């Protein structure tokens, strides 16, 4: 594990990031490795995936068991978030409904509106432009290359219905993706228990 930093011209500030290096890295200087990026959540920092989820220990174990080696990078992402416009019903039932006014958005996100509004803007148009369901519709309409998608969520996660809505949108569009729900909440206990699934999924696609 290494902690590094760099100056970001785009942000105008210095940022820190944690790097996990696979077991053979020190003895294979000419080898090129695939890289996976893990982002922390709201109020988190670059060390969370190591200190709270043990991603380095889990990666060591999986690679010792035969998973392809790769580098993991965990940057300081401040408080950036990615959230759909899903507005109900709860529990999720198709078809998905979406917010149509900023007032309803602010009410739904009242606990974190001050933190997330700067990232997405304060109009429905600006949120729609960044909404995953809208992004995938535009990409599908343009017949562009579709990224591989892996989505997992805890069954008691307060955002589970948003994940279910996105899953339903992808299925309706016929877009291939991996989706799983496992017992748990929106916390590091869940992510610690299931980060191995995403590591294996990523390795199968980028570490061939």
Q: Are strands 13-20 and 2-8 parallel, antiparallel or unpaired?
A: antiparallel
Q: And the tokens for 139?
A: 């990409």
Per-residue pLDDT at 109: 80
Judged by average pLDDT, the poorest of 73-82, 83-92, 117-126, 198-207 is 73-82
pLDDT at position 62 is 97
Phi, psi (5° rounding) for residue 108? -70, -30
On average, the pLDDT of the chain sits at 90
Q: Which H or E element spans position 2?
A: strand 2-8
User: The whole model's pTM is what?
Assistant: 0.87
**pLDDT tens-digit readout, 34-85:** 999 999 987 889 999 999 999 999 999 999 999 999 999 999 987 655 566 8
């Amino acid at each position: 594990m290494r902690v590094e930093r760099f100056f970001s011209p785009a942000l105008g500030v210095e940022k820190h990031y944690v790097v996990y290096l696979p077991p053979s890295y020190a003895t294979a200087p000419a080898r090129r490795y695939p890289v996976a990026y893990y982002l922390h959540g709201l109020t988190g920092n670059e060390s969370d995936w190591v200190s709270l989820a043990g991603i380095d220990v889990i990666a060591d174990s999986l690679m010792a068991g035969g998973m392809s080696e790769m580098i993991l990078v965990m940057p300081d992402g401040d408080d950036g978030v990615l959230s759909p416009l899903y507005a109900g019903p709860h529990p999720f039932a198709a078809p998905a409904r979406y917010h149509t006014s900023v007032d309803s958005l602010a009410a739904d996100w009242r606990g974190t509106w001050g933190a997330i509004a700067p990232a997405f803007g304060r109009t429905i148009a600006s949120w729609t432009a960044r909404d995953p369901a809208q992004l995938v519709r535009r990409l599908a309409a343009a017949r562009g290359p579709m990224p591989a998608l892996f989505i997992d969520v805890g069954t008691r996660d307060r955002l589970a219905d948003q994940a279910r809505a996105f899953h339903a949108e992808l299925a309706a569009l016929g877009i291939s993706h991996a989706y799983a729900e496992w017992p748990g909440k929106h916390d590091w206990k869940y992510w610690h228990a299931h980060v191995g699934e995403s590591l294996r999924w990523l390795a199968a696609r980028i570490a061939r």
